Amino acid sequence: MSAQIVRLPVARPAGDFIVEKVADEVLVYDQRNHVAHCLSPVAALVWSLCDGGKVDRVRAALADAGHKDSVEAVIAQLSSAGLLRAPERVDHSRRRMLGTTAVAAGVVLASPVIFSLVSPSVAQAASAACGAKTQICCTTAPKCNITLRCQSNKCL
Amino acid sequence: MEPTRRYRLTFAGRERLLAIDDEAPLVCRSIRETQDALEGDLALHVAATCPDRVFIHAGVVAIDGRALLLPGRTFSGKSTLVAALVAAGATYYSDEYAVLDAAGRVAAYPRRMSLRRNTGAPRRVLPRRVGSARIRVCWVLGSRYESGATFVVTPLTPGRTALLLLDNAVAARLASSRVLAAVRAVAATCQGASVVRGEARRTVEELLHFCAGKASYPPVRFAPEDG
């Protein structure tokens, strides 16, 4: 059983992100590390309310929207995704709390509320694994290991 | 107008050295290899820097005037699937890039289909039925090949469909805002799914069945190849 938090963490500044709503989910693109997230409706709701205020407000909002997910578990996932501001000072109780909520996330949530991926660079989007001997290399811009040559799409 | 990319071709014995900007030159052993490298790099450069279109690495065909997108990296099998779909009657749009406008419609990118063979260079073919109009995307299917696999469709939410497209967007980092808006426009109105597939011919039958709305959705498990 997990402990309950009283105050909400604070979301990172909106300027760090590009945000697009799609149906009832929210796409969040973190411009600092090029990680894209898909937030479920419940994660989006909790994230939008993370302003350092009292957590009761979020519990009520979740209940009103018919969500049964634990606020602590959702906050743990938002924290893992890097969408929340790190605590400014060492707060042992909060650290303990984050540890607890991380465990709670696995227990309370039936399914993940956030999906994330690192967006590809131009080269990554263009090609499969490339470079080592006998590996298939990209036809678009063969870049085999310097000691190898690209022949018939393979590094030889 | 200043060039945005510079190519220099030199000869060293029987080899051709293709230098792109200031990068180390690519060593090409035939004209064909040189052409492929030049064409591929030009295409990628355009895909990465085009100011008003979003390029997604994907095969694209039209079925009854609606687009089916098959996002995937190089060597993910999308060309094989596209070729098989075209052979089954679909209209060819692209085996390399889905070119999206701001409204999320897809335009044709009708380069010759690249059909890889077990040995030698890929064969290049331009199908007879090639699309021209920009059309709405109706299906986005991320597929993974498994030898002898049963055809399994698992639906994706619009948000996860957008992530699938973003994962294959050439300019995801360079023009994040524009890319996100375009993939959102597509994902909001299409049916997204991930597919585990076996051999191309059987997969095409199942895909056409799925796109015709004859398959139950979600998720679907079809019988194995031999039944």
Cα–Cα distance for residue pair B102/B169, rounded to 1 Å? 14
Pairing verdict, β B191-197 and B135-145? parallel
What is the mean pLDDT for each group of 10 consecutive residues in chain B (227 residues)? 87 87 84 84 91 96 96 82 93 96 95 74 83 96 85 92 96 96 96 88 87 61 39
Q: Does A119 touch chain B (CB under 8 A)?
A: yes
Question: What sections of B167-199 are H helices per DSSP?
Answer: 176-187
Partner-chain contact B20 A141, CB within 8 Å: yes
pLDDT at B150: 81
Contact A156, B34 (CB under 8 A): no
The pTM score is 0.82
Partner-chain contact A150 B27, CB within 8 Å: yes
Question: What sections of chain B are H helices per DSSP?
Answer: 31-49, 78-87, 158-166, 176-187, 200-211
pLDDT at B40: 84
Quick one: B6 exposed, middle or buried, by C-beta within 10 A (0-12, 13-18, 19+)?
A: exposed
Which residues of chain A are under the pLDDT cut of 70?
A: 1-3, 87-110, 126-156
Q: What DSSP string describes B59-114?
A: EEEEETTEEEEEE--TTSSHHHHHHHHHHTTPEEEESSEEEE-TTSEEE---PPEE
pLDDT at A152: 56
How far does A92 lie from chain B, in Å, by closest CA?
36
- Is the peptide bond between A9 and the residue preceding it cis, with omega within 30 degrees of 0? no
Give the closest residue to B207 by CA, choosing from B78, B57, B55, B75.
Answer: B78
Place of tokens 């085999």: A144
pLDDT at B33: 82
| Closest chain A residue by Cα to residue B166 | A119
What SS3 state is found at A147?
coil
pLDDT at A151: 58
Task: Tell me which chain A residues have a C-beta less than 8 angstroms from the C-beta of B20.
Answer: 141
Q: Does A6 touch chain B (CB under 8 A)?
A: no
Crossing angle (nearest 10°) for helices A71-80 and A41-49: 80
Give B201's Cβ-side CA count (13 Å radius): 1
Place of tokens 């398959």: B215
Pick from A36, A127, A153: CB nearest B166: A36
pLDDT at A127: 53
Q: Does B83 touch chain A (CB under 8 A)?
A: no
| Closest chain A residue by Cα to residue B56 | A125
Partner-chain contact B121 A152, CB within 8 Å: yes
Beta bridge partners of residue B220, listed in sequence order: B153
pLDDT at B215: 58
Cα–Cα distance for residue pair A26/A42, rounded to 1 Å? 10
Residue type at A75? I
Report yes or no for ipTM above 0.95: no
Length of chain A, in residues: 156
Task: Tell me which chain A residues have a C-beta less than 8 angstroms from the C-beta of B172.
Answer: 34, 36, 119-120, 125
Q: Does B120 touch chain A (CB under 8 A)?
A: yes
pLDDT at B31: 85
Cα–Cα distance for residue pair A75/A85, rounded to 1 Å? 12
Partner-chain contact A40 B74, CB within 8 Å: no
How far does A27 lie from chain B, in Å, by closest CA?
7
Quick one: A52 exposed, middle or buried, by C-beta within 10 A (0-12, 13-18, 19+)?
A: exposed
Contact A20, A26 (CB under 8 A): yes
